[in-house]
Chain A
Amino acid sequence: MNASAGMRQRIRELVEGARASIEANRRRIDDLNVYPVPDGDTGTNLTLTVRAIDEALQQDGPDDRAGLAKEVSRAALMGARGNSGVILSQIVRGATESLAESDDLARAFRSASDAAYRAVKRPVEGTMLTAIRSMADAAEHGADLAGIIARGEDTVAQTRDMLPVLKEAGVVDAGAAGLVEIVRGIHAAISGEALAPPPEHEEAFGIEAIHQELSRYRYCTVFVVEGESLDADELEGELERLGDSLLVVGDRSALKVHVHTDDPGRALSLGIARGAIGGVEIANMHAQTQQREERLLHAVPADREACAVVAVSSGVGNRTLFESFGGVVVDGGRTMNPSTADLVAAIDGAPAEEVIVLPNNGNVILAAEQAAANAAKVARVVPTRSLQAGLAALVAFDSSRRAEDNVAAMQEASDGVATGAVTIASRDVQLNGVAVRKGKWLGLADGEPVAGGETFDEVAQAVLERLLREPRSVLTLLTGESPPVLDGLLSRIQSEHPDLELDVHQGGQPHYPLLLAAE
């Protein structure tokens, strides 16, 4: 610090010390932020508030103690960003009011602490308030600035156990941590010692992290479309609406697509609408962000995981759909027939005290009921007879309610869906006097054969018309492990049922190239 300079210059050096320190810790503190609102901006807000003071001091202004105190206080107030910034501005105000009159450190910290407590309607401990008060206590016991900072650090460490939301999230309070960094920066400016580098920020893992920085979207989605007369520009135009980092390369018979999107299902269905898709890779780029988000979600009072769902499913895509609702999936395998023991294990391993079981197949209902009766937990079965009915039931599921209170709504939702399937007849079938020969396309509606024919399109179309006899608003298509070409079907849906909301997913189930659900 330059002792011969004017007082304004010296104060400015202190503020710049504070600014350098908080800026270096900004991201780390943003990441700690779960209280009072977990929006991850405490570090940024404290930085902007300190920056506002610094910027005011860069202008010409008073060079006397009282004038400077007033100016710093006002600049903090005018520039205070966010809750933490507002409290900081009150701390600055208390400190400068005292420093305007004397150099007494203890008096300044106490005045800062008192001003902060006065500003908050209902003071909460385990926050910036606790940190400033403990630093004031240390100062009154004769600690120097280094000792005061040491006490502040201890308090920051203790905040984790003072506020339940911090404890659950496993973090210390962001505002308290930021305040100590600010004081540390001032101390470094006074002592002339360099600031220690900030604690190692859990920094990420190579390519994935870089990938993530480039996109605001969650899923890196890659697939290949094979078909005829594919138009790369046209597909690119459609995909552009879904995300960024878009790349569509190839020729008229095969295109490779790379897109970052929040809705990989929709991207895939654009592919399915143009041909057969393959080589699908969907990577969650937000692994790191997600960890943080999960931490934040857990910071919400944990009164809601009253119930979990165990669902029998087959196919990778279907598993992902069920899991996206928090369902625990028991793989039914090619026959959709898990053992009772598998189901009991899943029920008892599910992350809630009570469980709803979705058999998703008529042949599994009995096993599910046996498992529910034999499990250690309270378990109820909603007797769904298809994957589609199971998904509909899951949409109505509320994990904050008990199993008992979920059953009726889930049953109603699954009853409200009309289900269909297109498969290949594994034996000769007699239907309405029409014989469907083994090896031909066979269409089912609610489990009963309704159409047979030579082509996928005619059979799928017949099933669809059956499902749409009653007015429906949403149509879900789940393609199987050998997905059919949906072009014909999708273009007819678009022209004949333009109001129908369409949701196409790659389900991956065996035996059924297409499953349909209309609700």
Chain B
Amino acid sequence: MKLTADNTAVVLDSTADFPDAQTRFSNFRIVPLYVRFGDESFKDYVEITPDRFYERLQTDSELPTTSQPTPGDFLATFEELAPRYERILSLQISSTLSGTFASAQAAAELLGGDAVRVIDSRTVSASLGMLGIGVQRRLERGTTDEEIDAYVARYQRDHQLLFTVNTLEYLARGGRIGRAAAFAGNLLNVKPILTIRDGEVIPLKRVRGNAKAFAEFRALFESTSADSPNLKVGIAHAAAPERLAALRELVEHVRPRAEIEIATPLGPVVGTHAGPGTVGFFWYEDA
């Protein structure tokens, strides 16, 4: 079956941090996760904006928690799309970080038939958003399930991701710290350089201060990319616009021909687990 942007819908979850996806691509939908302050529950982006979220994070006495969409949430989206599209590609946050994938699968099973394919992206945030953009590039040219599978596999293998957090406490509290736990809890202003591998947060190195963190970013970015318009970059930050700007400058300086596809705040759900001050970027080659 030939897949096109006319006959194939793409469903992301809100952890893709790609809130204008549906405005940019009419065949895209976003299913929101939930963020909870005490007994108040909000749909990610829909009922609470990143700005409002980081504001509350400052002022609330209780730290927020998050939860995956219900199967019902996915089912409603699938049911809306099913009459109009022959294929629904549902790209989800890594199943090692969230149960969202399971909710989408349960909904696909309930819908029945084989129109919906739920894909475990093994990644999160703008990196998931960029995976969606890559899928769309192929849909617009005309593609097949096999080609999409091959692309997703290549993306998972080749895409690079680096980020740093102000403190590992947020990752630890949410249980998403993985092996980076070994770096937690020191009193000096230490910046861990982190990546996500096979859906797990992995510490690469730790350095003192922002300047050195950026120097590490730069060295790793330079050694694993080549300057070309095919180099696609995404940048994300949690309430740290000055770091976003600095990272954008770094990318434009080191790889002037690269295309920055996404530059975005981390949304409430991802922000709950990363914490304010987090900044990161993602890159891979694609034509």
Task: State the A residues within 8 Å of B (CB).
Answer: 34, 36-41, 44-45, 48, 74, 77-83, 85-86, 89-90, 119-121, 214-216, 244, 262, 265, 293, 296-297, 300-301, 303-305, 320-321, 324-325, 391-392, 395-396, 398-400, 473-474, 476, 499, 501, 503, 505, 519
Contact = CB atoms under 8 A, between A and B. Distances in A.
B68 interface: yes
Contacts, number: 147
Contacts of A77: 70-72, 75, 106, 110
A20 to B, nearest CB: 17
Nearest to B207: A395
Contact of B187 (A44, A215, A296, A505): A505
Contacts of B205: 396
B182 A398 contact: yes
Contact of A474 (B97, B167, B212): B212
Nearest to A49: B70
B182 A399 contact: yes
A124 B203 CA distance: 28
A297 B110 CA distance: 36
A48 B71 CA distance: 14
A297 B169 CA distance: 11
Contacts of B34: 81
Contacts of B105: 119, 121
Contacts of A395: 186, 188, 190, 206-208
Given A320-B187, A395-B208, A119 B179 contact: no
B187 A78 contact: no
Contacts of A325: 186
B61 A214 contact: yes
Interface stretch (B123-131, B170-178, B263-271): B170-178
Interface of B, helix, strand, loop or mixed by DSSP: mixed
A45 B67 contact: yes
B184 interface: yes
A391 to B, nearest CB: 7
B61 A262 contact: no
A324 B102 contact: no
A301 B175 CA distance: 13
A44 B181 contact: no
Interface string B153-178: 00000000000000101001111111
B203 A519 contact: no
Most A CB within 10 A of own CB, among B106, B167, B172, B177 = B106
Interface of B: 34, 60-63, 65, 67-68, 70-73, 75, 97-99, 102-103, 105-106, 109-110, 167, 169, 172-179, 181-190, 203, 205-212
Contacts of A391: 188
B191 to A, nearest CB: 10
Nearest to A417: B208
Given A41-B65, A474-B211, A503-B189, 16 more contacts: A36-B99, A37-B98, A37-B176, A39-B176, A41-B67, A81-B34, A83-B102, A90-B106, A119-B109, A215-B61, A303-B179, A400-B179, A400-B182, A499-B211, A501-B189, A519-B212
Given A83-B99, A86-B71, A40 B175 contact: yes
Nearest to B99: A83
B63 A119 contact: no
B68 to A, nearest CB: 6
A101 B196 CA distance: 48
Contacts of A324: 185-188
13 contacts: A37-B98, A39-B174, A77-B75, A77-B110, A80-B71, A89-B106, A214-B61, A296-B175, A324-B186, A395-B206, A400-B182, A503-B188, A503-B208
B60 to A, nearest CB: 8
B86 to A, nearest CB: 25
Contacts of A37: 97-99, 174-176
A505 to B, nearest CB: 7
Nearest to B61: A216
A168 to B, nearest CB: 13
A78 B72 contact: yes
Given A39-B65, A215-B61, A300 B71 contact: no
Contacts of A41: 65, 67
A501 B209 contact: yes
Contacts of B175: 34, 37-40, 296
Contacts of B189: 474, 501, 503
A301 to B, nearest CB: 8
A320 B75 CA distance: 52
Nearest to A476: B188
Given A81-B67, A216-B61, A86 B187 contact: no
Contacts of A80: 70-72, 103
A244 B70 contact: no
Contacts of A499: 211
Most B CB within 10 A of own CB, among A74, A85, A215, A265 = A85
Most B CB within 10 A of own CB, among A36, A38, A89, A474 = A474
Nearest to B110: A77
B184 A297 contact: yes
A519 B173 CA distance: 31
A45 B60 CA distance: 21
A473 B209 contact: yes
Contacts of B103: 80, 86
Most B CB within 10 A of own CB, among A86, A396, A501 = A86
Contacts of A293: 172-173
A262 B187 contact: no
Contacts of A40: 65, 175
A119 B167 CA distance: 37
A214 B190 CA distance: 28
Nearest to B172: A293
A218 to B, nearest CB: 8
B106 A86 contact: yes
A262 B72 contact: no
B70 A81 contact: yes
B177 A262 contact: no
B282 to A, nearest CB: 22
Nearest to B167: A262
